[in-house]
Each structure stands twice: as C-alpha cells, then as structure tokens.
Amino acid sequence: MLSLIRFLLKHAFIVYFLVLESIAFILLFQSNPYQRASFLNSSDYLFAGTYQAFDRMNDYLELKRVNQDLSWENSELKKSAIRYFRKSFDQTVIYRDTAFRQEYTFYPVKIIRNTTHLRNNYMTLNKGEMNGVRQGMGVISSKGVLGIVIETSKQFSVAMSVLNKDSRISARVKKNGYFGSVIWTGGDYRIGRLNEIPNHVSLVEGDTIVTSGFSGIFPENVPIGTVKTVTRKKGSGFLEIEIVFTQDFKTLSYGHIVKYLHEIERKEIESKIPKND
C-alpha cells in the first residue's frame, strides 16, 4: 500500500492528467444527445442569456429578410385558410367541424444561436419549459425541417440541428411515397443524404422529399429537400441519393416548435407492440 502511494506521488502529474482526461472522456462518450447532463448545457440561463444579449444586436441587420419570409408565409397561409374558401357561398353556412381533429399545434420561436460549420450543430431557441416546450419536439421553419429539441430549461431550449451526425429524419418521396431517412454526412451544409430507398425506385433531379409523419415529431408533408443526384451502386440494394435542403441553414432566424397533441395516447398504444429482443 505504501509503495503504491509512493508510486502515485512520484508520477502525480501523469496520474492527475489521466484522472482529468478520463472525466472528459466519460462525459464525452456517455452523453447521448437525447439525455445529457443538464448542468453542462447552453440552455442554462447564464449561457443562453449571453447568447441572447448578443443576438439582439444582430436582429436589426436581418429585419429585411425576416419580413420577406413572414409575408411569404402569410400569403401561403391565406391561400389555405378556410374562410377564404367560404366567401363564394351566398347562404349562411354552419361550420361545425367534427370531421377534422387538430393533430399538431405550433409555437413560434426565435433561433438565438445556430451553427452550420461544425460536424455536430445545435441551435438555441428562446422558449423553454415555461412556454410548453419539451424534449423530443420538432422544430420547423416556413421552408423546411430544422431539428429536434433535446434539452430544455425554464426559458430556453436547445435543438439538435438536422446538420448533426446523430440526426435522422424520417422522410418520404412526395411523388411515390417511398420512405427512408435523411441524414447529414458533414461537409457542405446545403447537402444531405436520403438513405434506405430501394434500387428499383425511379427518381429524378428535383423530386421533392418531405417528412413522413411516422414519428409524430413532425407533421406530414413538411418539405426537407429536393433530389440533387442519384447513384446506383453495384452490390447494394439501396440508392445513394444526395439532396439539397430547402431551408438554407445559414439564414435561420425564426421557426416553429411542433407539438403533437396525441403523443401520450399514441405512446400508450405503441407500448403494447410485442418487443422482438
């Protein structure tokens, strides 16, 4: 025992280095992006507050583009609003909607911090638990899918961007319904990849990829991207498809958090599926 202590004292520097490095590595490899130690996260008030103060200065520079996006989205919404369809009827219409039930609701958020140049990108949002944001909710913008909320604090939340190695978005080819998953392989922030589409499916450049709605995180038919190149690889049953994201991740400033209203009921019924393993 004594000689062990003597040995440790002699090599105190190396031992201390190994201890600190092990702590770092344990934190690094234990942390699942969906459940990490919450004290080490920029959704904490101090850290997110610093970002928010800095973000306020940038707000003014982006007003013009934000306004353009908003007016575009407004006109899209007006096109689909039910009251604009009913104006053509002359008689009074009693509109009692029992055929449709609301499935999703949306909270507007501001993205106060966002990166695109790292391998694993995250964004910080200005709403948190106080506004009803919970882990696992989707984040979209008027132009496409942005990411999934992984961490929340009282007033802020952090979302894992689509531009992250752990991000997998359940996706569908709009024209024929084949589904796969969209991932990002790093490098160019505009280019993603669509996996798991079988070889016999015919796709051409410009085909639209939308969300499948299977996961209950995003509603159906939210745009993700358009097909850029399709390569057939010998010996593989699947196509290699590169897509261009419809949302330019460098120009993000506002988005919507998606809340799935039937989540509890759905989870309950899905928990009854017999497990294979």
- Binding stretches for other proteins (CB under 8 A): 12-13, 16-17, 20-21, 23-29, 31, 36-37, 40-42, 44, 47, 50, 54, 115-120, 122, 158, 165, 186-189, 250
Nearest-approach distance from CB 136 to other proteins, in angstroms: 17
Instruction: Find the helix packing angle between 12-30 and 2-10, rounded to 10°.
Output: 80
Shorter beta-carbon distance to other proteins: residue 127 or 172:
127
Which tokens is 122 given?
């995250």
Shorter beta-carbon distance to other proteins: residue 61 or 93:
61
Nearest-approach distance from CB 257 to other proteins, in angstroms: 18
Residue 178 near residue 172 (C-beta atoms within 8 A): yes
Q: Name the 3-class secondary structure at 171.
A: strand
Nearest-approach distance from CB 259 to other proteins, in angstroms: 23
Residue 239 near residue 231 (C-beta atoms within 8 A): yes
Dihedrals φ, ψ of 144, to 5°?
165, -170
Provide the b/e sequence for 128-165 (b: ≥16 CB within 10 Å).
beebebeeebbbbbbbbbbbbbbbbbebbbbbbbbbbe
Closest CA to 41 of 139, 171, 152, 192: 152
Nearest-approach distance from CB 117 to other proteins, in angstroms: 5
Q: What does DSSP assign to residue 143?
A: S
Nearest-approach distance from CB 186 to other proteins, in angstroms: 7
Shorter beta-carbon distance to other proteins: residue 49 or 198:
49
Residue in this structure with the two tokens 């008027």, named with its chain if needed: 142
Shorter beta-carbon distance to other proteins: residue 120 or 208:
120
Shorter beta-carbon distance to other proteins: residue 146 or 210:
146
Shorter beta-carbon distance to other proteins: residue 148 or 203:
148
Which tokens is 156 given?
């802020």
Closest CA to 191 of 149, 228, 154, 146: 228
Residue in this structure with the two tokens 């600190």, named with its chain if needed: 20
Nearest-approach distance from CB 58 to other proteins, in angstroms: 9
Q: Name the 3-class secondary structure at 72.
A: helix
Nearest-approach distance from CB 70 to other proteins, in angstroms: 24
Shorter beta-carbon distance to other proteins: residue 37 or 99:
37
